[in-house]
């Protein structure tokens, strides 16, 4: 099986690649080649050392003719301009999210019309498709049949692309699967333009001995998922047969519901009070407006049928980050409290 991952140099793209390479198969077929396509080259040494891995750099839409000259059995479409970027630059969002996705789908359709079997097409959507509309307020709990009413350009883009994937699947051009991802925390690396970026930065930066600012009220409730749980959900959706996936509507992945205050309390209990001195509160109405419009509580019946579940606690999420990235914990008291050796 030949697999293409767009956004393959990103954190989730490389983690997905590592997971697929480790299991060696997808839908029971051996993985022969895995292409990572992104604006920049990937940096995960273990992934790049695998002989099955190739990579391609450049603007995805501009590079589609080259990339799609080869037949792909599965496409994981993760590449996207994020929420804050789409609000700040309307044209960028249209180009990176809508235009690119439609042309990628058309390239897959052309391969099917040329006589190939429809490719598995996984689309990474978002719970940003949900919001509160005057005519249709957001319910207290979002269920599988809750109607999306996105309140941001990013959410609109994701919902439109979900419908395109559903229609291309209905027509038999692809075997499409859309999964709505929760906010992923804690992400390593540098901050990005996502409105939800602070939900990683509030923990990543203080653990590294750096200052961080909270832009929202501490009692803001959020729905999130650890990196490992997110990738496990993506793979499960891709592995499922069509009957198990259930129709063509996007599936909501499981969410841990927690307040920002509870998240900070977990950080202090785990890493010590010194890290809290590195955190300040600087209200940002634009970020708060976007984040508060997102749902925080979910009932995930379809996901449960696939054997998926939410992270048990944010303490567990933090422990996962520290286990996976111990070198990024540079705050001395935190390292000592966590039992990490002195950095070299």
Structure tokens that stand for 18 in this block:
């590592």
Taking each helix axis as running N to C, give the angle between helix 100-113 and helix 60-67, from 0 to 180 degrees, rounded to the nearest 10: 10
Both 314 and 239 in a single domain? no
pTM of the model: 0.93
| Inside any domain, residue 343 | no
CB 100 within 8 A of CB 127: no
Total domains in the chain come to 2
Both 61 and 159 in a single domain? yes
How far, rounded to the nearest angstrom, does the alpha carbon of residue 258 sit from its chain's CA centroid? 18
Both 332 and 293 in a single domain? yes
CB 52 within 8 A of CB 21: yes
What is the CB neighbour count within 10 angstroms for residue 222? 24
**Domain carrying residue 175:** 2-182+226-252
Whether 154 is a known active-site residue: answer yes
Q: Tell me whether the omega of the peptide bond preceding residue 134 falls within 30 degrees of 0, making it cis.
A: no
| Inside any domain, residue 188 | no
Both 264 and 165 in a single domain? no
The closest alpha carbon to 44, from 9, 5, 78, 19, belongs to 9
**Positions of the chain with pLDDT lower than 50, given as ranges:** none
What is the CB neighbour count within 10 angstroms for residue 11? 17
CB 127 within 8 A of CB 252: yes
Euclidean distance between CA atoms 52 and 24, whole angstroms = 10
Give bridge partners of residue 50 from the DSSP assignment: none
CATH code, domain with 268:
3.90.25.10
Both 239 and 326 in a single domain? no
Both 247 and 273 in a single domain? no
pLDDT score of 121:
98
pLDDT score of 344:
63
pLDDT score of 43:
83
DSSP for 213-241, written as a single string: EE-S-TT-EEEEE-HHHHHHHHHHHHHS-
CB 61 within 8 A of CB 95: yes
CATH code, domain with 137:
3.40.50.720
Euclidean distance between CA atoms 176 and 173, whole angstroms = 9
Both 47 and 141 in a single domain? yes
pLDDT score of 294:
85
| Inside any domain, residue 190 | no
Predicted confidence (pLDDT) per residue in 74-132, tens digit: 999 999 998 889 999 999 999 999 999 999 999 999 999 999 999 999 999 999 999 98
| CB contact set of 37 (below 8 Å; sequence gap of 6+) | 4, 5, 6, 7, 8, 55, 56, 57, 60, 63, 67, 79
Single out the catalytic residue among 122, 154, 298, 314: 154
pLDDT score of 61:
95
Predicted confidence (pLDDT) per residue in 18-50, tens digit: 999 999 999 999 999 999 999 998 887 889 999
pLDDT score of 44:
77
What is the CB neighbour count within 10 angstroms for residue 147? 11
Q: Is 90 helix (H, G, I), strand (E, B) or coil?
A: helix
Give bridge partners of residue 35 from the DSSP assignment: 4, 54
């Amino acid at each position: 099986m030949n697999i293409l991952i767009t956004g393959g140099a990103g954190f989730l793209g490389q983690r997905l690649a590592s997971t697929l390479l480790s299991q060696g198969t997808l839908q029971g077929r051996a993985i022969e080649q895995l292409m990572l396509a992104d604006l920049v080259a990937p940096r995960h040494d273990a992934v790049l050392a695998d002989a099955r891995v190739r990579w391609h750099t450049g603007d995805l839409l501009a590079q589609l003719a080259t990339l799609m000259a080869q037949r792909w059995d599965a496409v994981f479409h993760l590449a996207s301009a994020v929420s804050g970027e789409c609000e700040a630059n309307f044209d960028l969002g249209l180009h990176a999210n809508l235009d690119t996705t439609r042309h990628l789908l058309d390239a897959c359709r052309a391969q099917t019309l040329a006589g190939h079997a429809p490719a598995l097409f996984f689309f990474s959507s978002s719970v940003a498709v949900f919001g509160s509309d005057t005519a249709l307020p957001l319910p207290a709990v979002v269920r599988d049949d809750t109607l999306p009413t996105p309140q941001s350009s990013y959410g609109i883009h994701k919902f439109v692309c979900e419908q395109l994937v559903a229609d291309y699947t209905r027509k038999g051009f692809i075997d499409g699967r859309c999964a709505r991802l929760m906010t992923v925390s804690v992400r390593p690396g540098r901050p990005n333009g996502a409105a939800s970026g602070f939900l990683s930065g509030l923990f990543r930066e203080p653990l590294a001995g750096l200052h961080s600012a909270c832009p929202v009220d501490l009692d803001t409730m959020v729905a999130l998922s650890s990196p490992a749980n997110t990738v496990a959900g993506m793979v499960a959706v891709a592995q499922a047969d069509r009957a198990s996936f259930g129709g063509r509507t996007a599936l909501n992945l499981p969410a841990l519901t927690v307040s920002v205050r509870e998240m900070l309390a977990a950080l202090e209990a785990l890493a010590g009070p010194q890290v809290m001195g590195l955190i300040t509160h600087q209200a940002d109405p634009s970020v708060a407006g976007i984040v508060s419009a997102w749902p925080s509580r979910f009932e995930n019946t379809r996901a449960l049928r696939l054997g998926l579940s939410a992270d048990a606690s944010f303490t567990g999420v933090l422990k996962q980050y520290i286990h996976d990235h111990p070198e990024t914990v540079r705050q001395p008291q935190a390292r000592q409290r966590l039992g990490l050796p002195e950095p070299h």
